[in-house]
Amino acid sequence: MRLAEAEETLRAIRSGEVDAVMSAGTRGPQVFTLEGDEHAYRMLIESMNEGAVTLTVDKTILYANECFARMVKAPLEQVTGGSLRRFLSAVDRAALKPLLTRTGRAGSKIQLLLVVGDGSRLPVQVSVRPLPRNGSSQRVLGLVVTDMSEVRRNEARLRTLTHRVLQAQEAERGRAAFELDDNITQRLCAALIRSQALADALPDGEVASKRAAIALREMLGTAADEVERIARNLRPGVLDQLGWAAVLRDTSLEFAARARVSVKLALVKLRARLPADTELTLYRILQEALRNVEQHAGAKNVTVRLTKPEGFIQLAIHDDGVGFDADRHATGRRRNVGLGLLGMWERATYTGGTLEVKSVRRSGTKIQVRIPLSPPDRRAAS
């Protein structure tokens, strides 16, 4: 009998035939009005492709549309009147609670995982906004729930595509490094030997010619060193041979000598090699960070710190340069992101890591990447 009455009440609420609902609460009965002139709005909400929920601060669901019921894979009559808690993990309940208890009329958004009827987890974005009380002493909140599963799948596909592009770039860099080392460097070295022989063959009386030959030899030597440096940066053989720590030290010291910047190294001792993807990611991020320091920061001091917090490897590059407005270049938001920062962010994201940039004008910049030591699960990308 009670079930039939409840079903009839729910039918009347959805059709707009009733103006108010009385709910028993901890402070006694509470009346929630459903004014007849809002029937058109309820019909609009029913036709939405997003979930719509109204609930009390204690997470009791006063109303839910059919879309939300489909999201959680539960009959609508079992959703309305129940608690939102059943669809949230303990962690997400704690995360959502401050948004539900916050006073004021400003809306808030949060991303959660809904625990749906078949036991799976559905990624959603929840927008929370206080609703008019309409004479009730209890606050009522409106929630718009957006299914983020397709967005997550697209993000995973994009990460996979980005990684393939990065792999292609690395392959091209390797080929370019081989060509430089196998052809250009060898030709420059041969020219260097010939120029040295020419300088030695000139008689001491040919002062001007001897000086020109020596200058030519020095220019060729400088060019050979520069080509070797470029080839090494394109694909450092020592990365494959000796590992990340050796490359970090060599790259930092070479940068210090070239840019005339003091570099302080603080490196944790690694007992084992890191995964190849992780080593390459850290190397490219270090390269780009030091390039930014050289070209834009005007720094005098740089600290490169490698640590190993529980389950992670962490690299931080901190300079005392001019800095910039980090909010306008926020990583993770593609708008206003420079290609260098975007590349670093994409590399870190693919390896399951995070990249954080902190900078204030005239107060320096800190770039920190943290990568889990266990490889990320990329099954969603397939």
pLDDT one-digit tens code per residue, 243-274: 777 788 888 888 888 888 888 888 888 777 88
* Residue 377 pLDDT level (bands cut at 50, 70, 90): low
pLDDT one-digit tens code per residue, 47-62: 667 888 888 878 888 8
Of 158-172, 240-254, 359-373, give the range with the top mean pLDDT: 359-373
User: Are the folds of 2-146 and 238-382 the same?
Assistant: no
Provide the H-helix boundaries in the chain: 2-15, 39-46, 66-72, 76-79, 90-101, 149-179, 185-201, 207-234, 237-241, 244-259, 276-292, 339-350
Contacts of 378 (CB under 8 A, 6+ apart): 156, 159, 160
333 has a pLDDT exceeding 50: no
In degrees, rounded to 5, the angle at the alpha carbon of residue 253 between the alpha carbons of residues 247 and 257 is: 140
**Which three-class secondary structure state does DSSP give residue 83?**
strand
Q: pLDDT at position 142, please?
A: 85
**Which three-class secondary structure state does DSSP give residue 312?**
strand
Distances in whole angstroms, Cα of residue 244 to Cα of each of 78, 160, 275, 276: 56, 24, 10, 9
CATH architecture of 238-382: 2-Layer Sandwich (3.30)
Contacts of 189 (CB under 8 A, 6+ apart): 224
Structure tokens, 373: 């030591």
Q: pLDDT at position 150, please?
A: 87
Rounded to two decimals, what is the model's pTM?
0.54
Classify residue 241 by burial, with Cβ atoms within 10 Å: 0-12, 13-18, 19+.
exposed
Residue-range domain boundaries for the chain: 2-146, 148-235, 238-382
Arithmetic mean of pLDDT over the chain: 76
Residue that is written with structure tokens 């890191």 in the block: 274
Q: pLDDT at position 332, please?
A: 43
Q: pLDDT at position 13, please?
A: 47
Q: pLDDT at position 154, please?
A: 84
Q: Which CATH superfamily is domain 2-146 in?
A: PAS domain (3.30.450.20)
